[in-house]
Amino acid sequence: MAGAKEIGSHFWPVALPEEDNGLKERITGDVRHMMSGQCALCYVLDDIHAKSRTRRTAYLPAYTCGSTIEPFLDKGCRVRFYDVGDGFRPVLDKEALMGADVFYLVGYFGFINHGGVDVSAFRARGGIVVHDVTHTLFSVGGILEEADYLVASLRKWFGIPAGGLAVSRRGEFSQAPIPPDDTYIGMRKAALAAKRVYIETGNAAMKQGMLSRFADAETRLEEICATQASDEESVGVARRFPVEAMVKARRENYAVLLEALRDVKGVSPAFPVLSDGVCPLFLPVFSEERDALKKRLIGKGVYPPVHWPVHNAVDASKFPVTERIARTILSIPCDQRYTATDMIMIGELLKCSE
């Protein structure tokens, strides 16, 4: 039986080389492998609290994943938000920044958005900078050098059971993370294995069961998410996944897809230039017909996610750019699982939907 041909959705495990991929050299500081990106953020917030026991005010982007806002709320932080501008650059209110204890910066889709962000005065008065490098970890210059902490999720990049990273760049963490949840790890491994079998065999009868495995694992994570460490197998995947080949494939696919989208009406790439050193996570586009476009692509076996709906803690009326992005953005897959032929096919599908 021929394998399943789908573009997007969950990753699956692949054979890994024996050599180290240089991840340890990419990030400096006290690096802890965590069960998820959200676990990594909870771990960082607990460390901040342990080292400075005051009620903290956090300054967050209005445009971000809800799973990054909720840990701040769960920890009792007062949250304030800022909008983004061109190139997803943060639009900061100086008074709000200086009135905060924690400044949370997010990278988007692999492209560098923190050029020109000046946190020197904020840090001089004791402010703490947390940089979410989930999207920019593999891009040259993707880490804000002034950041006190880094958090990331590797699950967005390749098939890994537990892929969170927490990094303290100004000293060691005050306490060790708690052990991983074996039940969750087992559920994730089973889901990843089922996805691989589905892709290799093309057995459509097992698709729904495979998707249910992933959904059940995420439900489990939501229920128990705290400061759990990663399991050793996942640490091995993180340190051996062929990053150099991944970056090369993603850049090549992005360039081909960008060219394929050039003549598609009503679809505008969020980043129309692939800058040197950027490792793209997706190729995000804007379209006023986003929902209809997504439905058409799914009908053809292409699964583009939406990053992200506006979280209910954010008053969208006060953040017009965030509202517009959330309403019109669609993330087109261009990752290492696919080829230039696949990217051209996506372009043709979009042209046919005009």
Q: Say what the pLDDT of residue 52 is.
A: 84
Q: Is residue 8 part of a domain?
A: no
User: What's the number of domains the chain is made of?
Assistant: 3
DSSP state of 314: S
Q: Is residue 45 part of a domain?
A: yes
For residues 192 and 270, state if they share a domain: no
Contact 128, 163 (CB under 8 A): no
For residues 260 and 158, state if they share a domain: no
CA distance linking residue 55 with residue 37, whole number of Å: 23
Q: Say what the pLDDT of residue 219 is.
A: 98
Q: What percent of the chain is predicted at pLDDT more than 90?
A: 95
For residues 255 and 297, state if they share a domain: yes
Residue 317 confidence (pLDDT) above 50: yes
Residue 353 confidence (pLDDT) above 80: no
For residues 31 and 160, state if they share a domain: yes
Q: Is residue 262 part of a domain?
A: yes
Residue 44 confidence (pLDDT) above 80: yes
Q: Give tens-digit pLDDT for 118-161.
A: 999 999 999 999 999 999 999 999 999 999 999 999 999 999 99
Q: What is the mean pLDDT of residues 71-96?
A: 96
Which residues on neighbouring strands pair with residue 75, listed in sequence order? none
CATH number at residue 265: 3.90.1150.10
Residue 267 pLDDT grade (very low, low, confident, very high; cuts 50, 70, 90)? very high
Q: Is residue 174 part of a domain?
A: no
For residues 76 and 213, state if they share a domain: no
For residues 199 and 258, state if they share a domain: no
Tokens read off for 337: 């699982």
Q: What is the mean pLDDT of residues 67-77?
A: 95
Q: Say what the pLDDT of residue 69 is.
A: 97
Tell me the residue range of the domain where 122 lies: 23-168
Q: At what angle do helices 243-260 and 340-352 cross, to 10 degrees?
A: 30
Residue 109 confidence (pLDDT) above 60: yes
CA distance linking residue 158 with residue 234, whole number of Å: 11
**Helix, strand, coil proportions of the chain in percent (round to 5)?**
40, 15, 40
Provide the 3-class DSSP secondary structure of residue 82: strand
Q: CA distances (Å), 214 to each of 38, 221, 327, in order?
A: 17, 11, 26
Q: Is residue 232 part of a domain?
A: no
For residues 161 and 195, state if they share a domain: no
Q: Give tens-digit pLDDT for 200-235.
A: 999 999 999 999 999 999 999 999 999 999 999 999
For residues 70 and 138, state if they share a domain: yes
CATH number at residue 133: 3.40.640.10
Q: Is residue 10 part of a domain?
A: no
Q: What is the mean pLDDT of residues 271-290?
A: 97
Tokens read off for 320: 């017009």
Q: Which residues contact 166 (CB under 8 A, 6 or more apart)?
A: 31, 32, 34, 39, 40, 41, 43, 44, 149, 150, 151, 173, 177
CA distance linking residue 349 with residue 198, whole number of Å: 24
Q: CA distances (Å), 21 to each of 116, 139, 246, in order?
A: 30, 15, 11
For residues 93 and 186, state if they share a domain: no
Residue 263 pLDDT grade (very low, low, confident, very high; cuts 50, 70, 90)? confident
For residues 253 and 210, state if they share a domain: no
Q: Is residue 234 part of a domain?
A: no
Q: What percent of the chain is predicted at pLDDT more than 70?
A: 97
For residue 73, the tally of other CB atoms under 10 A from its CB is 14
Residue 53 confidence (pLDDT) above 80: no
Q: Say what the pLDDT of residue 54 is.
A: 67
Q: Say what the pLDDT of residue 56 is.
A: 86
Average pLDDT, the chain: 95
For residues 125 and 66, state if they share a domain: yes
Q: Say what the pLDDT of residue 1 is.
A: 39
DSSP state of 160: -
CA distance linking residue 329 with residue 350, whole number of Å: 15
For residues 210 and 272, state if they share a domain: no
Q: Is residue 3 part of a domain?
A: no
Q: Give tens-digit pLDDT for 230-252.
A: 999 999 999 999 999 999 999 99
What does the chain come to in residues?
354
